Amino acid sequence: MGYPQQPQPYGQQPYGQQPYGQQPYGQQQPYGQQPAYGPPGAGYPPAPSASPAVAIIAAILGLVAAAALIVLPIDFMSGLDGASLGDLPGEYLTVLIVQGLGGIVLLIGAIIVFARKSAGAILLAIGGVLGIVAVLLPPMIFPGPLADFGAYMEAVFEFDGAQSTFTAIALIASPLTLLFSLLPPTFKYLKGNKASFDQQGW
């Protein structure tokens, strides 16, 4: 003889049955809720990219300064009339070496900046310093009338020949290259390339 089954109160579930809407342990999550997989940073919106304008301006200025600094020793050596570099005084050789080195460093730096590498901005800054030194060095080490800094700068901005014209271009473009290469937006844009790869986990 069994006892009559007691009616369950409203809303109460019999023993062993899960209440409505609760998933048993180990059962799959409801539709639309997926566990997060992937590399760190996945699922987060990408950071806004920096503007390339400042970095591109720095690279273009670097190319202008590089062209001027490379033309200067070439033009000078073309007017030696058969004389060799060994016949020149040490002061002239020093200026020619600094000019050529500055032009090469600026050219390489501009190319690397266009490839969006932070090292390019550093090379542009170094090349900008070398360009400034190359332009201001002659009145510091040359003897005689060339040692007059005021007369030297006046002759540079007369634009009466290739030497004065390209010296003036180098004098203008080199410090601007140095300035734009060291601005924070330049490094932000160049480092953004690495940051985007790190965020994607590559």
Q: Can you say whether residue 166 is alpha, beta or left, with left for phi > 0 and alpha for psi between -120 and 50 degrees?
A: alpha
- What pLDDT, on the 0 to 100 scale, is given for residue 51? 85
Stretch 105-115: mean pLDDT: 97
Establish if 148 belongs to a structural domain.
yes
- Maximum average pLDDT range among 10-19, 25-34, 137-146: 137-146
Establish if 8 belongs to a structural domain.
no
Q: How many domains does the chain have?
A: 1
Establish if 25 belongs to a structural domain.
no
Rounded distance between C-alpha atoms, residue 123 and residue 129, angstroms:
10
Establish if 28 belongs to a structural domain.
no
- 146: tokens are 């060339």
199: pLDDT strictly greater than 50: no
The burial class, CB within 10 Å (0-12 / 13-18 / 19+), for 81 is exposed
- What pLDDT, on the 0 to 100 scale, is given for residue 196? 46
Q: What are phi and psi of 10, to 5 degrees?
A: -60, 130
The structure's pTM equals 0.71
- Contacts of residue 108, defined as CB under 8 A and 6 or more positions apart, other chains included, come to 120, 123
User: Cα separations (Å) of 47 from 36, 75, 165, 193?
Assistant: 20, 48, 45, 12
Report the share of the chain in percent with pLDDT over 90.
52
**8 Å CB contact between 118 and 190:** yes
Establish if 22 belongs to a structural domain.
no
Establish if 141 belongs to a structural domain.
yes
Where residue 32 falls among pLDDT bands split at 50, 70, 90?
low
- 141: tokens are 């080490």
Rounded distance between C-alpha atoms, residue 168 and residue 148, angstroms:
17
**8 Å CB contact between 89 and 150:** no
**8 Å CB contact between 166 and 71:** yes
Establish if 39 belongs to a structural domain.
no
Enclosing domain of residue 145: 53-200
Model pLDDT for residues 45-63, shown as the tens digit of each residue: 555 667 899 999 999 999 9
Establish if 7 belongs to a structural domain.
no
